[in-house]
C-alpha cells in the first residue's frame, strides 16, 4: 500500500497476567488502591493530551477520532470517504462497529500514557516501572447508567464525568493536585506556538476541510449538555449536569415514575429467552422475520440500540414537554423551537455525539452489555449473513489496510480486555446472578408486593411495542412519549428516541434506509411504572377511575389494567426542539400493547435488600419470558397509530 494504516489491535496483555478488566468508572475513580489512583491520573492526563493534539494534522487527535462517528464526515485512516458518516445506526452492525471504535480510543490513550505522560514526566526507573505497569493493565472504564454511582449514591453521572476540576496524583508522585477535567467537556483548540493553543469554533474557517457545518454546533468551541443554543454561553460549551442527572433518574415531568426503568430494560436485555436472535437484540432495525426465518417474539421489540438511544437524549438534552405544546403541521416548522426555554447538547445529536467525552464511557457500557449477552446466549451474527464478513470501516486490524469485521468481534478477550462479570472462572449461573443483583430489583418489587399480584409465582407483564419510521421527519430527531392522562393530570410511562441524523447531512446509510422504507422498532415495558403509579403515588394522584377501578388499589391483573389503559393511555410525538408533531405525519407508526403471565420463582430477600440473596440460581432462577404475549386491542382501539 502507498500509506500504512493504523493497526487497531487492542492493548497487549502483560505476559503471565489475566486479561485486564474495563472497570465501572465510579468505583474505580474513588478507589484507594494505589494502582487505581495511578490509572485515574494517567487516564485524565492522556485524555487532555489527546484533546490538545492538532486536529488539522493528527488523525489520532481527539477531534479527528470523535469526527469518525459523524461530522465533519471526512475520510479517516486512508479509508474510502464515508458517504456521510461511518457510524452504523439502525443496522445489525451497530454494536460491532462501535467495538473497534472504542478499541481505537483505548489504544491511543494507552500509547499517550506510556510514550508521553510517563516517558516525559518520570525519570526514576522504579517509579516509571510502577506507573508503566499501571498503564499496561488499564482499560477504558464504563459508565453504568442503570445503577447508582458509588460516589454520589444516585443515578446519573459520576463525579469524574461531571466535575469541572478533579484531584489526581501528580505524575510519578503520591500527592494529588487539582486538574482541569477533560471529561467534563471537550474544548476545540488550534496550536499557535509551543505549548500555546487558541480556542476555535468547530465551524471556524480555520478548521479547513475539517470544519463542522451544522446548525448551532458550528458555533461550538466546547461541547454542551442541556444548554440553550441561544445563550451566550453556548459557544463556550455549557454543561448542566444537574439536568442530566434528573433525566437519568427521572425527568421532572416524569413524576418519578421511571425509577428503575433503565435497570428493568437492562435486566430484560440480559434475561434468558427475551431474544432468540442476535439481530433483534442488537439493533432497532425492524424485520418481519428473524435471521433463521422464524417470526420474532413480542419481547424482541426491545433492543440494545434502543436503550442506548434514550441515554444519548437524556445526556445531551432536549426541549421536553409532557403532553402538550405547539403543534407543527408542516416540515418547515419542525426546526423552529417552541417559545420559552429550549435545550440541546452534543450527545443528543448523531453528527456531533462523539465530541462529548462521556460518549466513550457510555459506549463502553453498551459494549459490556453486548459481551454479557453473548456470553449468556452463545449467539452472534449468522455466518451466512453478508454483514458477518463486511468491512467495519474505517477500522483496520493491520498496517496493510485489512479491515475489522463482525466475524472477529465476538470475543472481547481476544482484543485485550474483559468486564468484571466475565473474568476467569465466570459461569453462566454466576453471571446471571450478578445481572439480577445489579438490575433485577424493579421486577423483584413486583413479586415482593404480594398484595399487588394475584400470585407470588407469576406476574402479569405489560409491554408497548412500537414500529416507527426513524426518518419520518427527514431524519430530524424526535421522540414518542407514552403516558396516562385524565382531565387533571398526566403520568409518563416511557419514551422512545429515534436518535437520527437529518438526511441533509448526507448520511448514505440513512438515505438508503429511507429509500428502502426500512422501519425501526422499540419497546416500552410498563409493568414497573404501573406498579409505582399504584403503590407509591396512589394517594397523591388525581387520575380518575377506569370502570370503577381506583388507581390507589390497582393491581397488575388484566381486569384492572386493561380498562385503565383503554381509557387513559395516550402517546404523542415531539421534535427535540419541543414541537408536537401530528401522528398522521408518522404514517407507518404502529403501537401495540401486549400482556403475558410471567413465571417468577425467585425467593424474596429479607428487608428488601435483593443484593444479599446469594442463592438465586439454586432457588429457581430468573423470570422466564417464554409465555405467549397476547395483544390488548382495547388499549389502543380508536387511537391514531394503535393496533
Q: Is residue 201 part of a domain?
A: yes
Please enumerate in sequence order all residues whose Cβ is within 8 A of that of 120, keeping only pairs 6 or more positions apart, or say none.
none
Share of the chain above pLDDT 70, in %: 86
pLDDT at residue number 272: 86
Confidence of residue 556 (pLDDT cuts 50, 70, 90): confident
- pTM for the complete prediction? 0.93
Q: Is residue 143 part of a domain?
A: yes
442-496-353-506 Cα dihedral, nearest 10 degrees: 160
Q: How many CA within 13 A on the CB side of residue 506?
A: 13
Please enumerate in sequence order all residues whose Cβ is within 8 A of that of 50, keeping only pairs 6 or more positions apart, or say none.
60, 61, 62, 65, 108, 109, 112
* Lowest mean pLDDT, pick from 255-264, 493-502, 571-580, 598-607: 598-607
Q: Is residue 392 part of a domain?
A: no
Residue 630 and residue 636: Cα distance in Å, rounded? 13
The tens digit of pLDDT for each residue in 78-104 reads 998 877 789 899 999 999 999 999 999
The CA-atom distances, in angstroms, between 637 and each of 142, 260, 558 are 43, 29, 16
Q: Is 581 helix (H, G, I), strand (E, B) or coil?
A: strand
Q: What is the mean pLDDT of residues 515-533?
A: 91
The tens digit of pLDDT for each residue in 204-228 reads 999 999 999 998 999 999 999 999 9
Q: Is residue 196 part of a domain?
A: yes
- Grid coordinates given for 476: 430530524
**Per-position DSSP letters for 529-571, written without gaps between them:** HHHHHHHTTTTT--PPPBTTB-GGG--SSHHHHHHHHHHHEEE
Question: Is the sign of the CA dihedral 341, 345, 349, 352 positive or negative?
Answer: positive
Q: Is residue 210 part of a domain?
A: yes
* Lowest mean pLDDT, pick from 308-322, 516-530, 565-579: 308-322
**Per-position DSSP letters for 20-70, written without gaps between them:** PBPPBHHHHHT---HHHHHHHHHHHHHHHHHHTS-TTT-TTSHHHHHHTTS
pLDDT at residue number 253: 34
- Grid coordinates given for 636: 389502543
Question: In total, how many domains does the chain have?
Answer: 1
**Per-position DSSP letters for 476-527, written without gaps between them:** --EEEEEEEE-SS-EEEEEEEE-----GGG--HHHHHHHHHT--EEEEEE-H
Q: Is residue 77 part of a domain?
A: yes
Residue 178 and residue 69: Cα distance in Å, rounded? 32
Q: Is residue 337 part of a domain?
A: no
User: Which residue, 505, 428, 519, 435, is CA-closest to 470?
Assistant: 519
pLDDT at residue number 179: 99
Average pLDDT, the chain: 88
Residue 71 and residue 82: Cα distance in Å, rounded? 10
626-627-628-633 Cα dihedral, nearest 10 degrees: -130
The tens digit of pLDDT for each residue in 156-201 reads 999 999 999 999 999 999 999 999 999 999 999 999 988 899 999 9
The tens digit of pLDDT for each residue in 580-633 reads 999 999 999 999 999 999 886 554 444 344 444 445 444 445 677 877 999 999
Q: What is the DSSP-derived secondary structure letter of residue 576?
A: T
Residue 252 has pLDDT above 90, yes or no: no
The tens digit of pLDDT for each residue in 403-458 reads 999 999 999 999 999 999 999 999 999 999 999 999 988 877 666 554 444 455 77
The residues that bridge with 405 in the sheet, in sequence order, are 391
Residue 81 and residue 98: Cα distance in Å, rounded? 18
442-447-448-450 Cα dihedral, nearest 10 degrees: 140
User: Which residue, 18, 38, 9, is CA-closest to 113?
Assistant: 38
The burial of 408, by beta-carbon neighbours within 10 Å (0-12 exposed, 13-18 middle, 19 or more buried), is given as: middle
CA 112-114-119 angle, to 5 degrees, is: 105
Outline where DSSP puts E strands in 205-251.
none
Q: What is the mean pLDDT of residues 278-283?
A: 97
Q: What is the mean pLDDT of residues 468-485?
A: 94
Q: How many CA within 13 A on the CB side of residue 164?
A: 8
Boundaries of domain holding 86: 25-219
Q: Is residue 90 part of a domain?
A: yes
Q: If you search the block for the grid coordinates 464504563, which residue do you land on?
A: 142
CATH classification of the domain holding 145: 1.10.1280.10
Amino acid at each position: 500500500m502507498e500509506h500504512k494504516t493504523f493497526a487497531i489491535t487492542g492493548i497487549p496483555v502483560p505476559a503471565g497476567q489475566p486479561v485486564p478488566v474495563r472497570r465501572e468508572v465510579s468505583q474505580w475513580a474513588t478507589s484507594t488502591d494505589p494502582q487505581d489512583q495511578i490509572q485515574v491520573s494517567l487516564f485524565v492526563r492522556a485524555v487532555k493530551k489527546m484533546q490538545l493534539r492538532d486536529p488539522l494534522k493528527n488523525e489520532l487527535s481527539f477531534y479527528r477520532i470523535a469526527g469518525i462517528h459523524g461530522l465533519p464526515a471526512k475520510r479517516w485512516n486512508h479509508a474510502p470517504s464515508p458517504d456521510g458518516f461511518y457510524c452504523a445506526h439502525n443496522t445489525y452492525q451497530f454494536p460491532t462497529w462501535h467495538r473497534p471504535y472504542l478499541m481505537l480510543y483505548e489504544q491511543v490513550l494507552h500509547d499517550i500514557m506510556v510514550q508521553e505522560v510517563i516517558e516525559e514526566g518520570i525519570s526514576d526507573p522504579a517509579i516509571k516501572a510502577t506507573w508503566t505497569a499501571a498503564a499496561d493493565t488499564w482499560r477504558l472504564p464504563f459508565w453504568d447508567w442503570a445503577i447508582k454511582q458509588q460516589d454520589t449514591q444516585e443515578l446519573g453521572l459520576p463525579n469524574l464525568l461531571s466535575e469541572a476540576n478533579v484531584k489526581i496524583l501528580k505524575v510519578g508522585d503520591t500527592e494529588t493536585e487539582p486538574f482541569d477535567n477533560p471529561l467534563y467537556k471537550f474544548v476545540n483548540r488550534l496550536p499557535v506556538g509551543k505549548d500555546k493553543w487558541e480556542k476555535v469554533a468547530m465551524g471556524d474557517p480555520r478548521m479547513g476541510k475539517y470544519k463542522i457545518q451544522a446548525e448551532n454546533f458550528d458555533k461550538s468551541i466546547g461541547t454542551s449538555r442541556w444548554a440553550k443554543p441561544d445563550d451566550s454561553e453556548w459557544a463556550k460549551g455549557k454543561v448542566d449536569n444537574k439536568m442530566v442527572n434528573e433525566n437519568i433518574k427521572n425527568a421532572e415531568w416524569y413524576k418519578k415514575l421511571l425509577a428503575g426503568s433503565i435497570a428493568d430494560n437492562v435486566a430484560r436485555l440480559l434475561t434468558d429467552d427475551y431474544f432468540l436472535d442476535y439481530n433483534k437484540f442488537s439493533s432497532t432495525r425492524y424485520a418481519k422475520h428473524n435471521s433463521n426465518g422464524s417470526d420474532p417474539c413480542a419481547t424482541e421489540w426491545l433492543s440494545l440500540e434502543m436503550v442506548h438511544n434514550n441515554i444519548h437524549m437524556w445526556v445531551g438534552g432536549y426541549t421536553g414537554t409532557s403532553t402538550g405544546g405547539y403543534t407543527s403541521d408542516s416540515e418547515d416548522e419542525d426546526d423552529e423551537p417552541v417559545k420559552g426555554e429550549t435545550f440541546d447538547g452534543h450527545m443528543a445529536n448523531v453528527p456531533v455525539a462523539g465530541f462529548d467525552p462521556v460518549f466513550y464511557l457510555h459506549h463502553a457500557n453498551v459494549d459490556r452489555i453486548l459481551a454479557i449477552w453473548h456470553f449468556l446466549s452463545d449467539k452472534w451474527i449468522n455466518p451466512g449473513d453478508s454483514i458477518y464478513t463486511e468491512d467495519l470501516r474505517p477500522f483496520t486490524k493491520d498496517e496493510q489496510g485489512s479491515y475489522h469485521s463482525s466475524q472477529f468481534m465476538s470475543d472481547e478477550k481476544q482484543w485485550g480486555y474483559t468486564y468484571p462479570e466475565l473474568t476467569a472462572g465466570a459461569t453462566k449461573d454466576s453471571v446471571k446472578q450478578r445481572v439480577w443483583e445489579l438490575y433485577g430489583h424493579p421486577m423483584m418489587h413486583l413479586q415482593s408486593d404480594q398484595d399487588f399480584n394475584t400470585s407470588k409465582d407469576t406476574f402479569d407483564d405489560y409491554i408497548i411495542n412500537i414500529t416507527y419510521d426513524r426518518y419520518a421527519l427527514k431524519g430530524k430527531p424526535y421522540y414518542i412519549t407514552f403516558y396516562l392522562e385524565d382531565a387533571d393530570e398526566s403520568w409518563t410511562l416511557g419514551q422512545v428516541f429515534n436518535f437520527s441524523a437529518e438526511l441533509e447531512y448526507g448520511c448514505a446509510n440513512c438515505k438508503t434506509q429511507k429509500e428502502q422504507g426500512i422501519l425501526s422498532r422499540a419497546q416500552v415495558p410498563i409493568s414497573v411504572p404501573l406498579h409505582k403509579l399504584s403503590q407509591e403515588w396512589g394517594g397523591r394522584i388525581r387520575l380518575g377511575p377506569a370502570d370503577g377501578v381506583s388507581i390507589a388499589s390497582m393491581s397488575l391483573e388484566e381486569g384492572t389494567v386493561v380498562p385503565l389503559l383503554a381509557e387513559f393511555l395516550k402517546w404523542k410525538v415531539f421534535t427535540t426542539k419541543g414541537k408536537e408533531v401530528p401522528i398522521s405525519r408518522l404514517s407507518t407508526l404502529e403501537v401495540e400493547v401486549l400482556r403475558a403471565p410471567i413465571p417468577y420463582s425467585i425467593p424474596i430477600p429479607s428487608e428488601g435488600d435483593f443484593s444479599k440473596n446469594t442463592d438465586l440460581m439454586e432457588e429457581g432462577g430468573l423470570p422466564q419470558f417464554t409465555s405467549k404475549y397476547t395483544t390488548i386491542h382495547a388499549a389502543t382501539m380508536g387511537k391514531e397509530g394503535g393496533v
